[in-house]
Amino acid sequence: MIVPSAAYLNAGDNAWQLTAATFVGLQTIPGLAILYGGVVKKKWAINSAMMVVYAFSIVLLVWMLWGYQIGFGSPLHIASGFFSNLIGVPRSSLSSSTMLDRASIPLVNAGMPAFKFPGASLIYFQFVFAAITPAILAGGVLGRMHWKAWMLFVPIWSTFVYSVNAFLLWGGGWLAQLGAVDFSGGYVIHVAAGVSGFVAAAVIGPRIGADRKSFNPNNLLIALAGAGILWLGWNGFNGGDPYFANGDAAAAILNTNVATAAALLSWLALDLFTDRRPNLVGMINGMVCGLVAITPAAGYVNGWGAIIVGILGAAIPWYTMNRASHRWPFNRVDDTLGVVHTHALAGAVGGLLTGLLADPHMSEYVGGSVVTGLFYGDPHQFLVQFEALVVIAGYDGLATWGILSLIKLVVPLRYPDEVLAVGDRAIVSDIEEATVDSDGGPPEMPLATSVP
């Protein structure tokens, strides 16, 4: 007998999970693609957008073939004790039973209600998170990374870095068992992308001098459109992670928007009272910092906590980007879009503040227990948040260095300077006939004159 759906399935939960996943997918395509295309120098606009589109595509295949099961499957028992909780068993997620049976995370579901949607919904939802992470990472290496190196780097990094992070914190692995939490990816996604992007920028080397000296955005309105897609798409980012269309999802969405507004205004105020004029790129940076900072905390803090996370999540990266960029280690690495500031530091701030501000009354369920921050009586939560931060940042940085060190034995990591001087016209076949400006690239679009 054919039935419309399995008995376990709740149409509302399933519909929300797929909708939330689509929102997150839109953050990458077209969100990040057009944000990068608008905020970089014109001669790098197409190449930058293409790097994002490639990452989205290749990660989907890696995810289906082995990545999802490494992050969310049964644990691979390499040895007993510590080594039994580091990664899941690498296997495919292509079978009909995997897609249609009730979704489950083996080490997690024992402590929380059973999911009410099929495996296909969970696999796709988690894929869009896996896809956006290397796309964010690309922001650190725009303007010089060789396409052949990028094509190798993304699937290898997604396998050995992202999927491992996911298992450690979301799949019930070692850090989760210590009690560390990451509601929707402050550590798994943003610290990972920011640290790895910074390390990759250091290994690959800087852009050419002309690009470092002048890298003005070529289309600020397009960049703002991409940023707007990120902001509203984040409703799926944080709203989908309770895995149920419940009150926690609603609170996470509200907290996300409150924190983002506070962060944007925080960055704007700092720009205004130091440079005496507003800055649209700064407002976008503040917005991104707020979205990133609230991500690990969205369902754990109340509204007051969300405002604090937003303000500090923007103010600290503003300081490191605008006042400490000439100091070590920032002055030693050409991080094109400053992902170490807007993602690694903002994610770290949000993760640590979760350990301080998590309100136990906000949690409907969290692995069978509630999350209580230091200010609500539990100092242990802050300690394990700090420990998780050190582990994720340390492992991801070392792994990124190792992956790139191996890739450069096979293909070049960086284009020659004469290619970098031209940019898209020398790399992307679609625009071979583009005119060039005085620095060898396509003509820049003039920026509007600022009024003090």
- What are the tens digits of pLDDT across the range 323-361? 999 999 999 999 999 999 999 999 999 999 999 999 999
* pTM of the shown model: 0.93
* Mean pLDDT value across residues 193-198: 98
> Per-residue pLDDT for 365 more than 60?
no
190, 137 in Cβ contact below 8 A? Answer: no
Specify burial of residue 176 (Cβ count, 10 A radius: 0-12, 13-18, 19+). buried
- What are the tens digits of pLDDT across the range 292-312? 999 999 999 999 999 999 999
218, 40 in Cβ contact below 8 A? Answer: yes
For the chain, give the number of residues.
452
* Residue 83 pLDDT level (bands cut at 50, 70, 90): low
- The torsion region of residue 41 among left (phi > 0), alpha (psi -120 to 50) and beta comes to beta
> Per-residue pLDDT for 436 more than 50?
no
Q: Which residues are CB-contacts of 56 (< 8 A; sequence separation ≥ 6)?
A: 25, 28, 29, 131, 135
* Mean pLDDT value across residues 32-45: 96
Which two three-digit tokens encode residue 390? 């050190």
Which two three-digit tokens encode residue 439? 């620095």
Q: Where are the alpha helices (DSSP H) in 323-416?
A: 339, 346-357, 379-407
Q: Give φ, ψ of 419 to 5 degrees.
A: -75, -40
Q: What pLDDT shows up at residue 366? A: 52
CA-based R_g, the chain, Å: 21
- The torsion region of residue 172 among left (phi > 0), alpha (psi -120 to 50) and beta comes to left
- Going along the chain from its start, the domains and CATH numbers come out as 11-78+99-431 (1.10.3430.10)
Spatial distance between the Cα atoms of 254 and 301, rounded to a whole number of angstroms? 11
Spatial distance between the Cα atoms of 294 and 296, rounded to a whole number of angstroms? 6
Instruction: Give the Cβ contact number of residue 390 at 10 Å.
Output: 10
> Per-residue pLDDT for 79 more than 90?
no
Higher pLDDT, 430 or 60: 60
- What are the tens digits of pLDDT across the range 86-132? 999 999 999 999 999 999 999 887 667 899 999 999 999 999 999 99
Spatial distance between the Cα atoms of 225 and 353, rounded to a whole number of angstroms? 30
Instruction: Give the Cβ contact number of residue 110 at 10 Å.
Output: 12
> Per-residue pLDDT for 445 more than 60?
no
Percent with pLDDT over 70 in the chain: 92
DSSP state of 375: G
Spatial distance between the Cα atoms of 239 and 24, rounded to a whole number of angstroms? 10
**Residue 258 vs residues 44, 105, 309: alpha-carbon distances, Å:** 34, 31, 10
Strands (E), 17-63: none
> Per-residue pLDDT for 5 more than 70?
yes
> Per-residue pLDDT for 63 more than 60?
yes
Closest alpha carbon to 52 in 24, 22, 27: 27
Percent with pLDDT over 90 in the chain: 87
Spatial distance between the Cα atoms of 53 and 254, rounded to a whole number of angstroms? 30
Spatial distance between the Cα atoms of 345 and 75, rounded to a whole number of angstroms? 30
Spatial distance between the Cα atoms of 264 and 93, rounded to a whole number of angstroms? 40
Q: What pLDDT shows up at residue 440? A: 46
Q: Give φ, ψ of 136 to 5 degrees.
A: -65, -45
DSSP state of 124: H
- What are the tens digits of pLDDT across the range 225-275? 999 999 999 999 999 999 999 999 999 999 999 999 999 999 999 999 998
